[in-house]
Amino acid sequence: MEDPRIVAQTLAQKDPGWVHDLWLKYWAHGGSAGMVEFDAYLHGLTERDPFELKILAWAIEDLCPAPPQRFHQL
């Protein structure tokens, strides 16, 4: 199973402004990291609670028109 952070990094490379939108969705789903912490987490510089990966996957699903099926398994 692929880490949702890798998907987020790939999408952010295509559109750097996407990270802000992703963070807002992440926050709305109950994520606890501020924007700077979130960016560091996406790039593997910090670790968060494992449940944060689920929250990140939900946020990606909300922003992607056709989310990858693998995130439904998290």
Which tens digit of pLDDT belongs to each residue from 9-23?
888 888 888 899 999
Tens digit of each residue's pLDDT (9 = 90 or more) over 2-52 = 789 998 988 888 888 889 999 999 999 999 999 999 999 988 899 888 899
Hey, what are 13's tokens? 């490379």
Residue 24, both tokens: 């807002």
pTM above 0.85, yes or no: no
Q: How far apart are CA 21 and CA 2, in angstroms?
A: 21
